[in-house]
Amino acid sequence: MSETTEKVRKTLARRYRAEKRFKAFGIGSIGIGLMALVLLFTDIIGKGHSAFFEYEVQLPITFDAEVLDVSDPRDEDELNYGNYQGVIRDALAERFPSVEGRQDTRALNQLVSTGAGYALRDMLREDPSLLGETRTLWLLADDDVDLFLKANEKQREDSRLNAKQQAWVDELEASGETRVVFNQSLFSYGDSREPEQAGILGAILGSLFTMIVTLVLSFPIGVAAAVYLEEFAPKNKFTDFIEVNINNLAAVPSIIFGLLGLAVIIGLFGLPRSVPLVGGIVLTLMTLPTIIISSRAAIKAVPPSIRQAALGLGASKMQVVLHHVLPLALPGMLTGAIIGMAQALGETAPLLMIGMVAFIVDLPAGPLDAATVLPVQIYLWADSPEQSFEALASAAIMVLLAFLITMNTLAVVLRKRLERRW
């Protein structure tokens, strides 16, 4: 074997070893990423799955007119101010007749959620004939009771319930007077100070209105800017300056846009705080660079022969753009818009700056109503000292991830189905 051949063999051997190392590093990186993803999802699902279910307690409720202080259930004023907690206290006292003393009675009454009274009010409103009747009903348990029933034996030792309350709950559980049901409150109510009554519907509606405003503003403006810069703008230092700054804006921290919205949109123009309209405008400023860049890339991907053929047949520049370039570039534009919207959906920092961190119970009816968004709702619950809010925050993260995964999947599907390869 010649010396040259030996050198080539050694060089090839080193190259193959380097390629194998590079391949191993790549596989290792992917493995680490997948492992981190699995750990993340395991932690979130492990903490949040219990929030989709809640415990109820069975009690015989007597709709006593004197205790309720309701003579006519058709009278909304009487119905709204009825003493529903009184009939619940009477039912608990009847179920546990041995409980005496003010402190023990107060502890016994804490087993049932304060929201159970609203359920009784709604039942009486729907069926006025219940007044004076006794019905065995399932009432929402307090969040501490809910945590106790969901916990294992070791976790129950650290429960916030005292020994007597634990004994009462154990008695109810042993007699079949507790049950677990799907947590409808999570998807039907807004925020609440009580974990068992808190829901994400208000945050979902706030996110929906904010995304609608963002889409209505960002997509047409972004596409128009991309078309002008790519098809009509003269190539000079001014347009180069604009292009550089668009690329720079895509890397600006999102909180800067929040400060801009606070100073200009709220401070200068006087728009109200904590409304989806302002949040949508702020997120529009943040997503515009992404949409412009992706739209320009989609326009560049259209073959020049399409333009030349249309011009050769007598079409004007505007007709070429509107009838040929835009339809062919639309899949890429939609993909960029969806990715930008998904990014905006998960943003928290800019919305915190414009006041969408406020505690809002009522459900928003439009973009001018006070509201919060899903990421901010998660932030508020995660920051709460109540242990039950930890599971609710994890459940809300699961819902948010579901929306984000859906939007990214939609972007991929649209691109696959509408994209043309040349």
Give residue-wise pLDDT tens across range 188-198. Answer: 888 888 888 89
**Domain topology for 201-418:** MetI-like fold (1.10.3720)
3-class secondary structure, 23: helix
Cα separation, 330 vs 284, in Å, equals: 19
Q: Which are the contacts of 143, defined by CB distance < 8 A and separation ≥ 6?
A: 113, 194, 195, 196, 386, 388
**Please, which residues have CB within 8 angstroms of residue 377's CB and are 6 or more apart in sequence?**
191, 200, 202, 203, 396
Percent of the chain, pLDDT > 90? 32
Element spanning 223, H or E: helix 201-227
Residue-wise burial string across 19-37, b where 16 or more C-beta atoms lie within 10 A, e elsewhere: eeeeeeeeeeeeeeeeeee
- Whether residue 422 has pLDDT greater than 60: no
User: How confident is the model over 166-171, as a mean pLDDT?
Assistant: 91
| DSSP character string of 379-418 | HHHHT-S-THHHHHHHHHHHHHHHHHHHHHHHHHHHHHHH
How much is the pLDDT for 154? 79
Range of lowest pLDDT (95-99, 393-397, 408-412): 408-412
Q: Residue 419 has what pLDDT?
A: 67
Confidence of residue 152 (pLDDT cuts 50, 70, 90): confident
- The angle subtended at Cα 385 by Cα 383 and Cα 386, nearest 5°, is 115
Average pLDDT over residues 200-224: 92
- DSSP-assigned beta bridge partners for residue 178: 57
pTM of the complete model: 0.86
- Domain spans of the chain, in order of start: 55-183, 201-418
What confidence tens digit (pLDDT) does each residue in 224-264 have? 999 999 888 888 888 888 888 888 888 888 888 888 888 88
Counting other chains too, the contacts that 185-190 makes at CB distance below 8 Å and 24 or more residues apart are 185/54, 185/115, 185/140, 186/51, 186/52, 186/392, 186/395, 190/360, 190/361, 190/362, 190/363
Question: Averaged over 399-414, what is the pLDDT?
Answer: 86
Side chain identity, residue 334: L
